[in-house]
Amino acid sequence: MTVIDIPGSKSVTARALFLAAAADGTTTLLRPLSSDDTEGFAEGLTTLGYEVGRTPDAWRITGRPTGPAVAAADVYCRDGATTGRFLPALAAAGHGDFRFDASPQLRRRPLGPLTEALRTLGVDLRHEEAEGHHPLRIAAAGIKGGDLTLDAGQSSQFLTALLLLAPLTAEGLRITVTDLVSEPYVEITLAMMRAFGAEPTRDGDVFTVPPTGYRATTYAIEPDASTSSYFFAAAALTGREVTVEGLGTGALQGDLRFVEVLRRMGARVDIAADRTTVRGTGRLGGLTVNMRDISDTMPTLAAIAPFADGPVRIEDVANTRLKECDRLDACAENLRRLGITATTGPDRLEIHPGTPRPAEITTYGDHRMVMSFAVTALRTPGITFDDPGCVRKTFPDFHHVFGAFRGRS
C-alpha cells in the first residue's frame, strides 16, 4: 500500500482565507495549501490591508469585520478564480475604492452573474473593459442586504461569494438560485461558514443568511480531493493500491465521490472515517456517468478512459468549458493527439478504447491537463507536456510526488 501525502484543499483554503479575513479576531489555518492560487489570495488580502502571517504549516490572519483596512487598493488576482470572485465581494462589504485585475486567462472567465448581483445590492461597480469580466472597480460603501435571484449555472463560485458576503451585510441575504452546478462546493461553503459562527440555512433553491458576522477560530484544512483523484486513478489504472489520509466519510469535498466512479469501473474502494483507499483490479470497465457535481475530476476520468474495455461517456459538464481552458475540447484534442477516438457535444465527452501513442500534450496553461495526462503516461511512455510547470497553480510539487509514486514498486 502506498500512502500519498496530498496538500491542502485549494477550495477549502480559499474559503478559509475569506472567512478568517472577515472574522472578529485572529484565525489560525492549519496545513493550508501553498500554491500560486492561494498565495495570490493571501497577497490580495495583504494588499487590502489585512494582516496575514505565513509559516510552512500554519497561516494566521487577523480579521476585520468592517472590511479592508485601506481606503484604496489595486489587487492583482493572478490566475485564481476564487481570488478574482471572492475578494471583490469581501471588499464590497467595506468602504473605499478598490480595483481588481487578473491574468489574461482569468480575464476570459465570466464574472457577470456575480457582479450583477452585487449591483442589485447597491454596490457601485464598473467593469473597465469587457462587461462581466476583469478588470473591475468597486466604490464600496457597505451593503444593506436583501433578496437576490442568482443563476449559478456557469459556476457555483458566484453563489459561494455571495453566501460568504451575507453575514457582513446589515440585514443579511436571501438568495434564490435558478440554476446551480458543482453543488457540493456550496455545501463546503455552508459548513465552513457555520464553523466560523454564521448561521446559513437552505430550503431547496433558497439560501437565507442572517447578519451574524464571523468569529475567529483555528481551522484545519483537509487534503485536496481533486488532487487526490490523480493518485486514485493511477491506482485503478496500474493495479496498485493508494491511500490518502485525512479524506474519509466526514470529508467536506464532493470531489471525493470520484472514487465511486472508479468503483463502478471495477476498482476496489474503501472509505473509512479518516482515509480513503483505492486498489486497482486489472480491469477498467466502460460507463456513462453524469459529472455535473464533480466536474473538476472530468479530465482525470478522460485520461484513463482509453484503457477501459468499453466507451466512457461523460455527461452534463458544460461548465468545464469555462474553466482555465475549454476542458471538454482540450481533453478531446489531446486524446486525439494520442491516437484515441474522442467526440464532444455541448456538455459531454465520449472516449473509445484504444492504445495511446506518445505525443506532446497541449496544456493551455491548465494545471489539470498536466496532472490528468500524467496518469495516462503511466501506461504510455513518451508523453510530454508543453507547459509542465503550470501545476504550480495548485500543486507545485506534483511532478516530484507523482514521480516518486511512479518509481515505487
Catalytic residue numbers, as ranges: 296
The neighbouring-strand residues paired with 61 are 27, 52
DSSP string, 386-399: S-GGGGGGT-TTHH
Cβ–Cβ under 8 Å, residues 82 and 11: yes
Cβ–Cβ under 8 Å, residues 366 and 327: yes
| Rounded CA separation 293/112 (Å) | 22
Residues 6+ apart with CB under 8 A from 70: 47, 48, 49, 96
Residue 59 burial by Cβ neighbours in a 10 Å radius (0-12, 13-18, 19+):
buried
Q: Nearest CA to 57 among 250, 221, 251, 227?
A: 221
DSSP string, 306-358: GGSSS-EEEES-GGGGGSSS-HHHHHHHHHHHTT--EEEETTEEEE-------
